[in-house]
Amino acid sequence: MLLEFKVENFRSFKDCATLSMLSSADKSLPNNMFHSKETDRTLLRSAIIYGPNASGKSNLIIAMALLRNLVLQSHSHQKGLKLNFQPFLFDSGSQRKSTKFSVIFIHDNVRYQYLLSFNSDGITEEALYHYPEGRKASIFERHGQEFSFTKDQTEQTVISRRTPENVLYLSSSVQFNYKRTMPAYEWFLKDLIVLETSELDPLIDTVIEHANRNQKFKRMVEDGLKIADFGITGFKGRIQTMTIRDLEGRVPPQILGMMTIGGMKAKERDIRFTHEVKDSHGKTQHFELRSYQESEGTRKLLAIIGPIIDSLLDGKTLFVDELDTKLHHSIGSWLVDLFHDPNQNPKGAQLVFNTHDQLLLDLSRFRRDQIWFTEKSNDSGSSTLFSLAEFGERKDRDIQKAYQLGRYGAVPFISPDRVV
């Protein structure tokens, strides 16, 4: 469960931006919240982010994706490898500062806070705290290559000496099976999903592989496709890794040469959807269409329905970039409502997503503390993140109309100047 995420000096975010999943004192839409016994607070089941193009909406999702990738993969970094440092570029001072991330979450009924600061050369600060009995306690703290520990000092000191400057101690310690950092690492690995949906094939591959292993999961995906009314009654898929020999005669020799040198692999996907229709005599007929014969909307839904089901079943936190792209408003609404339904979401799964679909901007679907905006300053070029709850808006306000009129900012300014 996510409580809070902070990002600073990353892409368009020069100053600290905070996304909070803690609910306000507002009592409206109680199904959109759930109680956390670890914090004795109510948490939000979803957060929706609006803003014009290039305002920072996607950068918030990308920030979480980068943090997750660093936690899960930095242990494999060779010494001297530069980190993926993307500071705010419109200020020379920011380029000399570290990017900072902070995330507070709950895993296995314990609250954790993980802090990370880094630049291209390595980790400048890192810390992990937990609240085993409701009181904050340090697991480790790091300033450059200086580490401090309050527990298991001998064991942790040995691990820290084997942790290069460009490797997260959280990642390194898990490789040495250190038990106190393992739960935090597992939250990033198992309980956090981040979907950057510009490339659908890897997401579809994951759904196919999971469906082929688990028939119950496959049936749930098929049910989701049916509910979305694509006329689909079933699907099946096969993904095969192809060798260079398999590709001979099918791709130009120049490309085969590049693949051989780079050690690249190719995948062959055979994905088919079953459609049930009635002929002119009323007899039911079944037809199979290949993936490329389906609409982009069908492919998009197949790509994201798997992670959504996975999140709902196990109470995971799901970040999605541009949930509404290629999907009808009704389907986007249905997906959001799954997270707000305690029967469909009994374990407190959370959905955080950005969108341009203003029809979702409705106080009968979202609480004021669930609605967020990003806006970029015309002067500095930096992004800010703020919640509708900060405006003290009335519950009966037509917020869609108010947003379109610019009451909350975060809308594009279209110059009246002629292009030609």
Is 51 among the domain residues?
Answer: yes
What pLDDT digit, counting tens, does each position of 202-239 carry? 888 889 999 999 999 999 999 888 888 678 899 999 98
Residue range of the domain that includes 94: 1-199+315-420
- In this predicted structure, what is the pLDDT of residue 295? 86
Is 125 among the domain residues?
Answer: yes
Q: What is the dihedral of CA 379, 385, 389, 392, to 10 degrees?
A: -10
**Region at 229 (left for phi over 0; alpha for psi -120 to 50; beta for the rest):** left
Is 146 among the domain residues?
Answer: yes
Is 98 among the domain residues?
Answer: yes
Specify the CATH number for the domain of residue 126.
3.40.50
The count of C-alpha atoms lying within 13 angstroms of the C-alpha of 130, restricted to the half-sphere facing its C-beta, is 17
Measured between alpha carbons, how far is 353 from 355 in angstroms, rounded to an integer? 7
Closest CA to 172 of 152, 182, 124: 182
- In this predicted structure, what is the pLDDT of residue 86? 97
8 Å CB contact between 339 and 45: yes
What pLDDT digit, counting tens, does each position of 318-361 carry? 999 998 888 889 999 999 999 999 999 999 999 999 999 999 99
- In this predicted structure, what is the pLDDT of residue 249? 67
Measured between alpha carbons, how far is 299 from 203 in angstroms, rounded to an integer? 10
- In this predicted structure, what is the pLDDT of residue 60? 97
Is 297 among the domain residues?
Answer: no
Is 221 among the domain residues?
Answer: no
- In this predicted structure, what is the pLDDT of residue 192? 98
Measured between alpha carbons, how far is 98 from 9 in angstroms, rounded to an integer? 7
Is 394 among the domain residues?
Answer: yes
List of the chain residues with pLDDT < 50: none
The residue written with tokens 């609240």 in the block is 131
Query: What are the tokens at 128?
Result: 């992990």
- In this predicted structure, what is the pLDDT of residue 214? 92
- In this predicted structure, what is the pLDDT of residue 296? 86
Query: What are the tokens at 181?
Result: 């950092």
Is 291 among the domain residues?
Answer: no
Count of domains in the chain?
A: 1
